[in-house]
Structure 1
Amino acid sequence: MKEICMRAAGLLASAAMSTFGGWVAFQFGLPLAWLIGSALVCAGLSLSLGAPTVPRRLYRGGQVVVGVSVGLTVDASVFDRIGLHLYLVPLIAGISILLGRAMVPLLVRAGNIDRSTAFFALVPAGISEMADLAQTKGADTGVVTTLHAARVFLVVCILPVVIYHLGDPVLLAAGRPQGVWDLPLLLALAAGTASAVAGNWLGLPSAFIVGSMVGVAALSAVGALSASEPTPLLAAAQVILGLSLGARFRRATVRRLPRALTAGMAVLVLNGLVMAMVGLSLAAMFGLDPSTMLLSSATGGTAEMVLTAQAVAVDAALVALYQVMRGLGGNLMAGRIHAWTVTGPDCSRRNP
């Protein structure tokens, strides 16, 4: 009981300080301020004092809020906007997965880690899914989890600022109608939660954001549901996601393998630059919105990229489609690609 109380107290203290960090970032006018500020503070706390334990249900609740928020913006015109994106979605997903595999030898040499750890650290898929799969394959789950968290962290901190300066997007607070706490909102949250639980039961990747988004979008697109989430609710969801992201940085792992993590950060930055070039090149080739394609090609987390899209007034539904396909492809193919190219009979000779 004493241990449980101590954990709860630590979580509350971390949440309070992370919320303050989000508020400070908001005062400076940063895009996605509540998430970035809370993630920075929580990461600092995790590396200095120890990571708080963020309950899974709390994190999933934040994901549901984000999924519902996107679902409520969907109308029948979303099908008209897909067009060419229907072909680019699998293309970008494939490129991001193959790029991660291609950079494995670079991380192995620079970070002095084994191939399996480097591989699972670079697959652009869910953090929890890759950590679990890495454990079954004998990889270092501490490195895998930390580098995946760093991947999302880097994208979240850099892309919103870059996109905001590409043009003159409207920030969330100014460009989104102020929601109200009413019955339609409660119905939307209930529908999103039910869809998320169903998606999780069916094994849908990132089920609590994807399931809630799909379920509410289906109702919104036919006009059966109309609501808008209040800004404080979205801010709270950002803080929860930032808290969870920052808590993934473990002091013990950083101290144990500083070279691997330093090299990994450099490889992740290179990976992000290449994917940004892919997104911008496709935007130029087909006359698409550069900001949309930057977020669509970015290898951040689904929830984080959707929030970023909303924050800078980019089509969040399209971004979600790209991110879900990338995550789904990574989750489904990681084990197979690992077996074919990392632990196959001739891999010691072909794959340094």
Structure 2
Amino acid sequence: MTPRAGLRLSGGLVSAALVGIAFHLLGLPLAWIFGSMLGSAVYANCVPGIGRTHLIRRAGQLLIGSSVASVLDVATIRDVAGYLPAMVAAAVASNAVGVLLALPLARLAGVDRLSALLAALPAGMSEMASLAADLGARADFVMVAHSLRVVLVVLTVPVLIGLDRSGAPLPAGPAGGSVEALVACLLLGSLLAYGASRMNLLNPWIIMPMSVGVALVLAGFQLAAMPSPLLAAAQIAIGFSLGTRLKREDLTRLPRATLAGLAASLALVAAMMVLAAFVMPGLTGLGFSSLALAMAPGGLGEMIATAKALGLASALVASFQFVRSFMTNLLAPLIILKLVGRDRGS
């Protein structure tokens, strides 16, 4: 990275942090995420060439993953594991809705079926955009559609949770714990995440510190809670990375595709919220507040950060989100071959 590029990137991060601080001082909900997202979006559209923000996003994800591990104990791990059938059912349902939306999305956006399918499936933006590039689909459209969906989820789902009065969140986790164990989780998780990223494994910068934390807890070590300033920094990093995706030129260059992607995102979010409100509580015994974030088709890091900010069951949210993302990436090649493989001669 050149000094000028580093200066532009630093300026964007400072802008995001300042707006996040302002939102926090005003007492606004989700201040660190919303504020940093707004600050970085404005900065990225005023200062061209901000560059790649992946290192900042990864740092935020490492902190978020470690913070989830810090609220775990053996009982919590056992309780969360008991919801695995519900996690699989939610993942299958969200993928089914995504498949149903693919054809109307292709017609509304004026893109091919493969691009629409990759844009509608509820997986991570980077994974689906990379797959689109590998298969010759519209990677730009896929990136815009996924970015809009994550922003839509971050903006709307907390509002729905605020209107809900049923179902208290699960316990936040045990008090006390070892600072040394938390540091070990963060450092070892970083090393494993780097190695996993070289092998293109799924969401390593969140999953690996969480996995290390689970191993430490099962081995008898209790992690200390993540300090509030580090949690705020993690949320700023996540919001900053999300805001830099909202480039005016991308949205105006693909106006029809942008509107179609927004409509499809609304439909997917609405379908999952209906399931979270009326179906899953009866199957799991969980309240809507926890299920809404657990089933929302947003990014793994964004949903965990939102759960932490709202004081909800971040371990449960992380587990639901990971299972859905993992299953979507696992099923995507099979879905592509079944639905569009013949059209593309593969």
Q: Normalization by structure 1: what TM-score?
A: 0.88
**Within 5 Å, which residues of 2 pair with 1:259-274?**
259-274=256-271
Q: Distance in 2 between matches of 1:102 and 1:311?
A: 33
Q: Which moved more, 1:37-46 or 1:112-121?
A: 37-46
Residue in 2 aligned with 1:293? 291
CA positional deviation for 1:242: 1.3
Q: Taking structure 1 as reference, are residues 84 and 206 closer, same or farther at Cα in structure 2, changes over 3 Å only?
A: same
> What is the aligned partner in structure 2 of residue 224 from structure 1?
221
Partners of 1:18 and 1:345 in 2: how far apart?
44
Deviations, residues 199-230 of structure 1 (Å, cap 9, x unaligned): 43554310110111111122134432421211
Aligned-partner SS, 1:103: helix
Read off the aligned partner of 2:127 and give its amino acid letter: E
Aligned partner of 2:246 in structure 1 is 249
Find the counterpart in structure 1 of residue 300 from structure 2: 302
Aligned AA (2:190): T
Aligned partner of residue 14 in structure 2, secondary structure: helix
Q: Which residue of 2 aligns with 1:275?
A: 272
Distance 1:178 1:236 in 2: 22
**Is the Cα–Cα contact under 8 Å of residues 116 and 138 in structure 1 kept in the other structure?**
no
- Percent of pairs with identical residues: 32
Does structure 2 conserve the Cα–Cα contact (< 8 Å) formed by 1:48 and 1:251? no
Aligned to 1:57: 55
User: Runs (4+) of structure 1 moved beyond 6 Å?
Assistant: 168-171, 175-181
Deviates more, 1:279-288 or 1:320-329: 279-288
Which deviations, in whole Å up to 9, do the C-alpha atoms of 1:84-128 show, x marking residues without a partner? Answer: 522111111011112111101221222222212211111111111
Answer yes or no: is 1:204 the counterpart of 2:201.
Answer: yes
Task: Give the distance between the partners of 1:198 and 1:248, measured in 2 at CA.
Answer: 26
The separation in 1 between residues aligned to 2:162 and 2:339, in whole angstroms, is: 39
Q: Is the 8 A contact 2:194 2:204 kept in 1?
A: yes
Segment of structure 1 superposing worse, 159-168 or 211-220: 159-168
| CA distance in 2: counterparts of 1:9 and 1:346, whole angstroms | 44
Gaps of 5+ in 2: none
Shift of the alpha carbon at 1:325? 0.8
* Cα pair 2:115 2:137 within 8 Å, conserved: yes
Task: Tell me the distance in 1 between the aligned counterparts of 2:281 and 2:61.
Answer: 32
Structure 1: runs of 5+ lacking an equivalent: 348-352
Q: Distance in 2 between matches of 1:191 and 1:73?
A: 18
- Verify: 1:141 aligned to 2:155, yes or no: no
Task: Mark the CA change 1:181 to 1:12 in structure 2 (over 3 Å): closer, same or farther.
Answer: farther
1:186–1:85 Cα change, 3 Å: closer
Mapped partners of 1:73, 1:219: distance in 2: 12
